[in-house]
Amino acid sequence: MPSINEITLLQPQVEKIAIAAGNAILSIYECDFEIVTKTDESPLTEADLAAHNVIIAGLEAISDLPILSEESADIPWSTRQTWDSYWLVDPLDGTKEFIKKNGEFTVNIALISGGTPVFGVVYAPVLDTLYSGVVGAGATKTVKGEATAMSPALRSDASVYHVVGSRSHQSPEIQQFIAALDKEAELVSMGSSLKLCLVAEGAAHFYPRLGPTSEWDTGAAHAVALAAGATVTELSLETIADSATNPNSQTPLRYNQRESVLNPYFLVSC
């Protein structure tokens, strides 16, 4: 496993790679772009591929670790299961947000070690907002060049819980989670991996994900959340009530533990 010192030396280089990928996306976002459909029926644009190429070239220039990207996800399990540390990349998370041109899409680069995200960078190019975190060394949010330390701590005496939901994937089970809370809840909609970052920065109390995600959708923001001090744990429909009242008692969400790259349901909590 790379040491914290080794990761922090890589951190500014990876941040630059994410920003460069974001700039490649913006050059397409500001023009007309072609949309094609992947085999899973999700949209793929020129921007996904442009960002992927920037990130792969950038990471290969600074690291010998293997890379798993959404746009090159056909690496067999027989190979992936031998990896202890690797880069996990989603070049453009929130393709539907990109197509809608609402700005809520991100570039995501994570370092996974021993099944756990240990470093992550999330960049929202339209918002010019960069989230970056090394587990054990803290997390920062940089908006238009101004960096501030992140903390998920919110007032425990808040009269209303802020619960993050997906703009594109509203799940009826989220109402079950809200009903299990000991206070009233207000739903906050957000696209892409920014949902995890809202909890990491203290703008929301919970993000229950009760719909499908892949590991590359969450790895980078998961690392940022852990670095800031939040928890990210597995969530099942049978344990919604327990998770809502005591998320620390649940199983941490892990990566590259099986052939499927789909995540179980999970909960991000401050």
How far apart CA 199 and CA 60 sit, in angstroms, is 31
pLDDT the model gives residue 30? 84
pLDDT the model gives residue 213? 94
How far apart CA 128 and CA 150 sit, in angstroms, is 17
Q: Which contiguous run of DSSP H or E holds residue 83?
A: none
- What is the value of pTM for the model shown? 0.93
The separation between CA 245 and the C-alpha centre of its own chain, rounded to angstroms, equals 24
Are the beta carbons of 97 and 104 closer than 8 angstroms?
Answer: yes
Low-confidence ranges of the chain (pLDDT < 70): 38-44, 155-157, 166-170
pLDDT the model gives residue 101? 87
pLDDT the model gives residue 244? 78
Are the beta carbons of 132 and 120 closer than 8 angstroms?
Answer: yes
What structural domains and CATH numbers belong to the chain? 4-149 (3.30.540.10), 160-269 (3.40.190.80)
Extended beta strands in 29-137, E state:
35-37, 43-45, 67-69, 85-93, 106-113, 116-124, 129-134
pLDDT digit string, tens, across residues 180-211? 888 898 888 888 999 999 999 999 999 999 88
pLDDT the model gives residue 4? 94
How far apart CA 63 and CA 229 sit, in angstroms, is 27
pLDDT the model gives residue 256? 98
Q: Which of 95, 11, 90, 88 is CA-nearest to residue 51?
A: 90
pLDDT the model gives residue 179? 86
How far apart CA 245 and CA 233 sit, in angstroms, is 13
pLDDT the model gives residue 240? 80
Nearest 10 degrees: Cα torsion 127, 128, 134, 138: -80
pLDDT the model gives residue 42? 59
